[in-house]
Chain A
Amino acid sequence: MKHFTKRRTATVAVAAGAAVAMTGGVAYAFWNTTGTGSGSAAAGSSSPLTVTVAGITGLYPQQKTTVAVTVANTNSFPVTLSSVKLDSVTPTGTGCTATDVSLDSTAGGVSGATYTVTNALTKAGGATPSAIINVPIAAGDLANACQGSGHSFSLTFTASGQSS
């Protein structure tokens, strides 16, 4: 009866959302955390990446530029960045549109609203690992009324890692 109970516990844990994978006989528990909130799970917890985006000044029609973004990993385990997504563009004044700002489709690694990155953020000496990612940005043919106005835009970085 006790042996049966252990088996039952295992089955419930898997069904509860810990998608289990096995490689070479070692089990891994996958957990997703999204947005700025922190994720938690029975096997431990993870923290979201800390993202600091530098603003763009002086955007002009058809401009291609880069935005320097500092991404820090505050988790106790190393992660490797995989992608950056331009989530949203919102005009903050009159005359501009949400299509005025996009990822630069002519830059390598850009597909639609996603930019592929591969930087590793590895703990070393107790310091919080971080990287500066230059995200390629393109401006559209901004309308005349958009002069002197602005936009707010949001970037989401995704990374994966493994805790021991």
Chain B
Amino acid sequence: MRKRQLLIPLGIAAGLAVVPGVAAAAWQVSGTNSATAAVSSVGTGAQPTVTSVATSTVNLRWAPSTVASGVEAGSYTVNYYAAATGGTAQGSQTCSGPSSAGFVNCAITSVAAGTHFFGVTPKYRNWTGLEGLRTSATATASNATAGMIFSNVTVNGTSVTPTCTGTIGSTYSCAVSGGNNDILRANVVFVNSSGTPTAFSTTSTSTIPITYTGKNGTPASLTIAANGTQSTAQARTDKNGSNSGSITATFNGWTAVITIN
């Protein structure tokens, strides 16, 4: 009896399956095909343009490289050489993307004096492209400007020699002594890392913002002429009674402070 109940539906099923046009057949079908995925490349770097030279700093800009429309190289290696083609790189610096207003801008610092040929190599993640055509620029100082110090320091008009500590460009700090309400004046000077006066720019005037503590702090900024090393004017601050006053110069990421105690 049990076997008979099983066979009836199977018989129906088999009968339907073998008679075309009668069976309701469920199908699983598939299809396969292949295609290619062509890989891009980061290509060749654009030839840079020199926007300015400030002693040992060469400012360059170039058109960005891309791996796809709107996808720019993440960084660039700028090498410089003694010749327009060939040779071994004399120096190298990594510059980051992306571009701004259609160009990648980068300052190549600590470039030795003389004429060099700068070439740009784009990079994107693991990819390194080819170096593009080189552009020449002439660095004009053998020592890079490293920061600022103070000169012609006076207290109430009397020349004094400040006591200075720290690293030029970052933690440079000087101090002088003075009485209540005494007046501190000083020039700001561009120097190299050894403290030797060194021009920052051969082509443009540098404007250095100055901040003060104490009282009567003035002016708000000092200027150093193109190819010059010392400010044309002095900064002034006064002790506020017995309280100290200070002059802080900040420029190009550098800081220098002088305090009258």
CA distance A53 to B9 in the complex (A): 44
* A101 interface residue per 8 A CB criterion: yes
The distance in angstroms between the C-alpha atoms of A151 and B37, with both chains bound, is 5
B125-138 vs A, CB cutoff 8 Å, 1 = contact: the mask equals 11110000000000
Inter-chain contact B31/A20, CB cutoff 8 Å:
no
A143 to B42, CA, bound (A): 12
CB-contacts of A17-57 with B (<8 A): 18, 20-22, 25-36, 39, 41-44, 46-57
Q: Could you tell me if B24 and A156 are in contact, using CB atoms closer than 8 angstroms?
A: no
User: Which residue from A31, A153, A157 sits with its C-beta under 8 Å from B35?
Assistant: A153
**Chain A nearest CB, measured from B131 CB (Å):** 15
Interface centre among A29, A53, A152 (most CB of B within 10 A): A29
CB of A117 within 8 Å of the partner chain: no
Q: With A147-B41, A152-B34, A163-B24 in contact, do A79 and B29 touch (Cβ < 8 Å)?
A: yes
In the bound complex, residues from chain B placing their C-beta under 8 Å from that of A10 are 7, 10-11, 13-15
Contacts of A42 in B (CB 8 A): 17-18
Give the residue name and chain of the B residue nearest to A31 (CB): B27
| Contacting residues, chain A, for B29 (C-beta < 8 A) | 33, 39, 46-49, 73, 75, 79, 158-161
Counting contact residues on chain A (CB < 8 A from B), the size range is 35 or more
Size class of B's contact patch?
Answer: 35 or more
Residue B1 at the A interface, CB < 8 A?
no
A118 on the interface (CB 8 Å rule)? no
Partner of B38, one of A39, A58, A73, A89: A58
Most buried by A among B12, B19, B31, B127: B31
Residue of B nearest to A50 (CB): B31
Distance from A73 Cβ to chain B, minimum over Cβ atoms (Å):
8
Our pick among A89, A100, A160 for the contact of B27 (Cβ within 8 Å) is A160
Please list the 3 inter-chain residue pairs (A to B) with the smallest Cβ-Cβ separation, ordered nearest first.
A49-B31, A27-B13, A10-B14
16 contacts between A and B (CB under 8 A): A10-B7, A20-B10, A27-B16, A33-B27, A36-B32, A39-B27, A44-B20, A50-B31, A51-B33, A55-B38, A57-B38, A79-B27, A100-B39, A153-B35, A161-B29, A162-B26
A interface list, Cβ under 8 A from B: 6-7, 9-11, 13-14, 18, 20-22, 25-36, 39, 41-44, 46-63, 67, 69, 71, 73, 75, 77, 79, 87-89, 92, 96, 100-101, 137, 139, 141-144, 146-164
